[in-house]
C-alpha cells in the first residue's frame, strides 16, 4: 500500500507534515534533514524542488530555493541523494515543485524515478487539474505516485468535489489565497473557510498549510483537518540554527508554546 494511504488509515488526526527545500542550507543536507525529522516524530515530509520562478512561494521559501540552485541542486542530484533513503526511512515522502523542472526532466521519467526511489506522492502547484485528469493521471497511477491537489478559499465547491473524486492521497488545503509565509493566527474569514470545507463531507483527508508557524495556528489547523503542513517556519529555523538537529529542536519548541 502507498505510504500516504497507510498513514491516513492509521492516523486520522494531528498529523504533522514538514516542508523543506532540497539543497538548503547546504547541497547535501537533504537526507540528514529527512532522517532528523522522522526521528523527532514528524509524520510526513515534503521535499521541495527549487525553481527559479516560484510564483506561489513567499520570500522565505524563494530565498531558500535561490540558495539551493546556487548550491547546485537539480532533480538529478536530488534523486541521487535519495537513492538509499528507504534503507531506514519509513514515513511518507512527497516531492513538491513546479511543473517546469519536472517537464524538463520528463514527466514519466520523474514518476518512474519516484517509484524507484520510494517517493510516495507529488505536489505540483501549477499543474492544471484538467491537464492532470486528461494527460498525467494514467502515468501517476502506473507508478503509484499520488498527486496532491491544492484548494484555496477561492476554489469553488464544484472544483473541490472534482478534486476529491479524482485523487486519493489527501487534499492540500491552503489557508489563504496569498503566498506561503508565517502567520500568528487565523482570522475569522479563514475559520469560515475551514468550516465550509468541513461541511462538505469530503472522502479524502485534508492537511492545512500556508501560514502555520506556532502553537495557535497549528492547533487551529489540526482542529479543522487531519493535520497541518509547516514550511516557511522550518526554513527560517534551518537558516538561523547552527545545525539540522538544533533547527528541528527549535521547531518542536516553537510548536509547543
Each residue's pLDDT tens digit, 143-152? 999 999 999 9
> Confidence band (pLDDT; 50, 70, 90) for 192?
confident
Give tens-digit pLDDT for 221-252: 999 999 999 999 999 999 999 999 999 999 99
**Distance (Å, rounded) from C-alpha 8 to C-alpha 12?**
6
Report the topology of domain 3-256.
TIM Barrel (3.20.20)
> Confidence band (pLDDT; 50, 70, 90) for 211?
confident
DSSP state of 141: H
pTM beyond 0.85: yes
Would you give the end-to-end CA distance of the chain in angstroms? 36
In the chain, what are the domain boundaries?
3-256
Q: Which residues contact 78 (CB under 8 A, 6 or more apart)?
A: 22, 23, 30, 47, 49
Give tens-digit pLDDT for 57-114: 789 999 999 999 999 999 999 999 999 999 999 999 999 999 999 999 999 999 999 9
Residues with a known catalytic role? 46, 57
Taking each helix axis as running N to C, give the angle between helix 232-240 and helix 244-254, from 0 to 180 degrees, rounded to the nearest 10.
Answer: 130
Residue in the block written with cell 507529488 = 122
**What is the chain's Cα-based Rg?**
17
> Confidence band (pLDDT; 50, 70, 90) for 175?
confident
**Distance (Å, rounded) from C-alpha 87 to C-alpha 188?**
45
How many Cβ atoms from other residues are within 10 Å of residue 115's Cβ? 15
Torsion sign (Cα): 143, 158, 231, 60? positive
Amino acid at each position: 500500500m502507498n505510504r500516504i494511504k497507510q498513514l491516513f488509515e492509521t492516523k486520522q488526526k494531528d498529523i504533522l507534515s514538514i516542508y523543506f527545500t532540497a539543497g538548503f542550507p547546504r547541497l547535501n543536507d537533504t537526507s540528514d534533514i529527512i532522517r532528523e525529522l522522522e526521528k523527532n516524530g514528524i509524520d510526513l515530509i515534503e521535499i521541495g524542488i527549487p525553481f527559479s520562478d516560484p510564483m506561489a512561494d513567499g520570500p522565505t521559501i524563494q530565498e531558500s530555493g535561490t540558495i539551493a540552485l546556487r548550491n547546485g541542486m537539480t532533480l538529478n542530484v536530488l534523486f541521487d541523494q535519495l537513492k538509499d533513503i528507504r534503507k531506514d526511512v519509513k514515513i511518507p515522502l512527497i516531492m513538491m515543485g513546479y511543473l517546469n523542472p519536472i517537464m524538463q526532466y520528463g514527466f514519466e521519467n520523474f514518476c518512474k524515478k519516484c517509484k524507484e526511489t520510494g517517493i510516495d506522492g507529488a505536489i505540483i502547484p501549477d499543474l492544471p487539474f484538467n491537464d492532470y485528469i486528461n494527460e498525467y493521471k494514467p502515468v501517476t497511477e502506473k507508478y503509484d505516485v499520488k498527486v496532491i491537489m491544492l484548494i484555496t478559499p477561492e476554489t469553488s465547491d464544484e472544483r473541490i468535489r472534482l478534486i476529491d473524486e479524482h485523487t486519493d492521497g489527501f487534499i492540500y488545503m491552503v489557508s489563504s489565497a496569498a503566498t506561503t509565509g508565517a502567520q500568528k493566527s487565523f482570522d475569522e474569514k479563514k475559520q469560515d473557510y475551514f468550516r465550509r470545507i468541513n461541511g462538505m463531507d469530503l472522502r479524502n483527508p485534508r492537511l492545512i498549510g500556508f501560514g502555520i508557524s506556532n502553537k495557535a495556528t497549528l492547533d487551529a489547523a489540526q482542529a479543522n483537518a487531519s493535520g497541518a503542513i509547516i514550511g516557511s517556519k522550518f526554513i527560517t529555523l534551518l537558516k538561523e540554527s547552527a545545525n539540522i538537529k538544533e533547527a528541528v529542536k527549535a521547531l518542536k519548541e516553537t510548536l509547543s508554546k
